[in-house]
């Protein structure tokens, strides 16, 4: 028995050493920059506080077993000299390393199985706190399977806009009242589902612009929307309408309002994303949620929801808090259908369109607010990326996007038809 116990201890020590070496091998020791250095880890009762000497951008966490530990990846942080206050002993030890120039990792070795909850970053961005919740071994192992949990810095910590080097005057058009409904195309026998395709931006609102070649989001989205329409009409399985078929401006309520007035069965708003990092690329599908899935989704919602505002004038006559959307209970079915379609769109379009690894995101996007119409916002790629911009603006790229979207739409409605048939047969 003694020999077996000694062998087990040696195996555990060897495993810990290998894990430490693996952690060290993946970490790059970066020179401190403007990011926040880790200055302390304090355990106060069941609350853990990680302190920084400057603000950080966000964080994520995941659980690891054998031995049990919590790993925290902190964006905008650097390794630093820190104090560890163990408190009640729930955390046996703390380690740190640098994953890359902008992300530090803190590893908390647990004295007993636990998970974290109520994670938040302080308004000044200089501390991250969360609670430790004791759980069973079985629950701990099941929590590991859930993967990574993300939590973001407060929205008011978003990077300040760059200093304006020049200004321009833009004439403000009158907001359309009682906008004319577009023509519905396709066999109008009353049985085929209706899909409304919305080309994002338009008119005085160019959307995102590629700084190198001047490609504008409003032009790309219109071309893609028209190509999707043509692809769907060739299949003959659905009816189609475009919210805009030319270079015109529509406020956000008019876009989803058209879909509602036409009684659309599905609403797809087509966009092309942009980022300061020109390497960012790939497509993303957004569905409606009160809470953004991550900081990037929150920023996109803040940007897109202000499409109605020019020179401080809100053409949509909305309240000032355009980012706040309270989801009514009647929207639950539409939200579930929207989320299912988002996953289907990625699956069917992936052979034709490059997607981001985190392809489905959630945000409080005004254009998806229709309570009774399943809706998605499809960011077809990054117009700020050279390869994506070339793909989105090419005829071949637009045809591939249209083919993928059409496949997803056809499968979506085929499923609905099969479900109705099964219910009738039952």
Backbone angles phi, psi at 226, to 5 degrees: -65, -35
Q: Is residue 1's pLDDT more than 50?
A: no
Asked if residue 410 has pLDDT above 90, the reply is: yes
Domain contains 379: yes
Mean pLDDT of 415-421: 81
**Contact (Cβ atoms closer than 8 angstroms) between residue 198 and residue 367:** yes
User: Residue 77: which CATH number?
Assistant: 2.60.40.3500
- Are 266 and 410 within one domain? yes
Minimum mean pLDDT range among 136-150, 174-188, 195-209, 303-317: 303-317
**How far apart are the C-alpha atoms of 178 and 171, rounded to whole Å?**
21
Read off the pLDDT band of 238 (50, 70, 90): very high
pLDDT band at 116 (very low <50, low <70, confident <90, very high): confident
Q: Place 37 in a pLDDT band, splitting at 50, 70 and 90.
A: confident
Q: In the chain, what percentage of residues exceed pLDDT 90?
A: 34
pLDDT averaged over the chain?
A: 78
Inform me whether the pLDDT recorded for 393 exceeds 60.
yes
**Which DSSP string do the residues of 232-282 spell out, in sequence order?**
HHHHTSSEEEES-SSS----HHHHHHHHHHHT-SEEEEEEEE--SSTT---
Q: Are residues 142 and 222 in the same domain?
A: no
Whether residue 414 sits in one domain with residue 345: yes
Strands 83-85 and 36-44: parallel
CA–CA gap between residue 303 and residue 307 (Å, rounded): 7
> Is 2 part of any domain?
no
The CATH number of the domain holding residue 295 is: 3.40.630.40
As a whole number of angstroms, the distance between CA 346 and CA 134 comes to 37
Please check whether residue 10 lies inside any domain of the structure: no
As for how many domains the chain has, the answer is 2
Mean pLDDT of 29-46: 67
Q: Which of 22-36, 72-86, 170-184, 300-314 has the lowest mean pLDDT?
A: 22-36
112 and 214 fall within a common domain: no
Above 60 in pLDDT, residue 141? yes
Distance, in Å, from the CA atom of 194 to the CA atom of 241, rounded to the nearest integer, reads: 8
Asked whether residue 1 is assigned to any structural domain, the reply reads no
Give the C-alpha separation, 392 to 382, whole Å: 9
Residue 160: predicted pLDDT: 39
Query: What is the extent of the structural domain holding 89?
Result: 27-153
Identify the residue with better confidence: 344 or 162.
344
Over the stretch 43-75, which tens digit does the pLDDT of each residue have?
Answer: 887 888 888 888 888 888 888 888 888 888 888
What confidence score (pLDDT) does residue 129 get?
A: 87
245 and 378 co-located in one domain? yes
Highest-pLDDT range among 128-137, 141-150, 171-180:
128-137
**Bridge partners of 132?**
116
């Amino acid at each position: 028995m003694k020999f077996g116990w000694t062998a087990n201890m040696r195996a555990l020590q060897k495993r810990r050493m290998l894990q430490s070496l693996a952690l060290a091998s993946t970490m790059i020791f970066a020179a401190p920059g403007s990011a926040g250095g880790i200055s302390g880890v304090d355990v106060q009762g069941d609350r853990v506080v990680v302190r920084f000497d400057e603000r950080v951008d966000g964080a994520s966490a995941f659980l690891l077993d054998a031995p049990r530990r919590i790993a925290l990846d902190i964006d905008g942080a650097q390794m630093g000299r820190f104090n560890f206050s163990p408190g009640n002993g729930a955390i046996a030890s703390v380690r740190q390393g640098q994953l890359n120039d902008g992300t530090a990792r803190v590893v908390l070795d647990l004295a007993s199985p636990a998970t974290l909850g109520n994670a938040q970053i302080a308004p000044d961005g200089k501390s991250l706190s969360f609670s430790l919740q004791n759980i069973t071994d079985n629950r701990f192992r099941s929590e590991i399977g859930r993967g990574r949990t993300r939590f973001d810095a407060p929205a008011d910590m978003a990077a300040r806009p760059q200093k304006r080097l020049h200004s321009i005057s833009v004439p403000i058009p009158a907001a359309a009242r009682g906008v004319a409904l577009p023509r519905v195309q396709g066999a109008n026998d009353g049985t085929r589902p209706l899909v409304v395709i919305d080309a994002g931006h338009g008119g005085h609102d160019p959307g995102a612009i590629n700084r190198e070649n001047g490609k504008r989001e409003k032009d790309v989205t219109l071309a893609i929307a028209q190509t999707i329409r043509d692809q769907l009409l060739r299949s003959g399985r659905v009816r189609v309408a475009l919210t805009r078929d030319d270079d015109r401006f529509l406020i956000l309520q008019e876009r989803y309002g058209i879909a509602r007035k036409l009684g659309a069965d599905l609403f797809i708003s087509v966009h092309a994303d942009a980022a300061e990092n020109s390497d960012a690329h790939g497509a993303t599908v957004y569905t409606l949620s009160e809470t953004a899935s991550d900081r990037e989704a929150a920023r996109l919602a803040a940007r897109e929801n202000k499409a109605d505002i020019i020179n401080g004038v809100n053409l949509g006559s909305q309240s000032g808090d355009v980012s706040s959307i309270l989801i009514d209970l009647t929207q639950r079915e539409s939200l579930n259908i929207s989320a299912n379609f988002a996953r289907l769109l990625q699956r069917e379009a992936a052979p034709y369109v490059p997607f981001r690894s985190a392809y489905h995101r959630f945000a409080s996007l005004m254009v998806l607010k229709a309570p009774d119409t399943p809706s998605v916002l499809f960011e077809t790629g990054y117009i700020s990326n050279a390869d994506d911009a070339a793909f989105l603006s090419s005829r071949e790229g637009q045809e591939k996007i249209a083919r993928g979207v059409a496949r997803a739409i056809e499968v979506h409605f085929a499923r609905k038809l099969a479900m109705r048939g099964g219910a009738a047969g039952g």
